[in-house]
Amino acid sequence: MKRALLLLAVLLAAAKFAALSIEPYGDSVYDLASGVTTLPQGGVIHDNENGISIDASYVEYKEGEYIKAKQAKVDTEDVQFAAAELEYYPEAERAAMAGGVNFTSTDIKKMHAERGWIYLKDGVAVLAGDVAAAEPQLSAALLVADYKQGEVLLVAPYAFKDPKLGVTLSGKNPKKPLYLKFDAKTGAVSASSKVPTAVSERLLAYVDKAQSAK
């Protein structure tokens, strides 16, 4: 009877997580009582429905609800990011990261921060805590980016080295972010202290959403 129940539970889990392909590096442990599957040696999880791949040293997931991972690297069509701790919610296409975050997109390379949130469906990332990037050279207390539209807000204190002018722009007022716009064809970036109202309202709403989800 116990074997039959365990088999039924595994089949149900597989049906609900049909969108996921699991490649464990070692053991795979399923807890019948909690419905949680653990990969103690880590593994690779492909979210086929959303086009996301997670490679981690430790993985825990619950059918239809969440994936938690440690030392995780994530690849999508638009961005790549990594974090010491990752929580991913497939249905919401949302990820929360802590313990140090690395992020790369088409426009911004080798960016790191203390923590972050990514709304994959919307193409928006929020990074906070000692944010810095190598290309373009920038730093900020907080950054919010629409990486599909090529729009970024740097929240002060910030510094941005304008690749065109060769000068560094800086600001200390958190209420006055710097607006970066990347050209979709050339990748060239322009900076302005005048943020379009629609852009400011839209992107800063993700900051409020991310911070309320702590």
pLDDT, one tens digit per residue, over 37-47 is 999 999 999 99
Q: By C-alpha distance, which of 151, 135, 162 is closest to 184?
A: 151
Residue 135 pLDDT: 93
Bridge partners for 101 per DSSP = 83, 113
Residue 165 pLDDT: 79
Q: Is the peptide bond before 157 cis (omega within 30 degrees of 0)?
A: yes
- The answer to whether 63 and 17 are in contact (CB under 8 A) is yes
Residue 33 pLDDT: 92
Q: What is the CA radius of gyration of the chain?
A: 20
Give me the residue label for tokens 């086009």. 51
- The answer to whether 56 and 42 are in contact (CB under 8 A) is yes
**Segments in the chain below pLDDT 50:** 2, 4-17
DSSP string, 39-104: ETT-EEEEETTTTEEEEESEEEEETTTEEEEEEEEEE-SS-EEEEEEEEEETTTTEEEEEEEEEEE
Q: Name the fold adopted by 76-214.
A: lipopolysaccharide transport protein A fold (2.60.450)
- The answer to whether 45 and 71 are in contact (CB under 8 A) is no
Distance of CA 131 to the CA centre of its chain: 14
Residue 4 pLDDT: 44
Residue 58 pLDDT: 98
Structure tokens at 36: 């949680």
Structure tokens at 59: 């993985």
Residue 88 pLDDT: 97
- The answer to whether 153 and 195 are in contact (CB under 8 A) is yes
Domain with CATH 2.60.450.10 in the chain: 76-214
Residue 63 pLDDT: 79
Element (H, E) at 12: helix 2-16
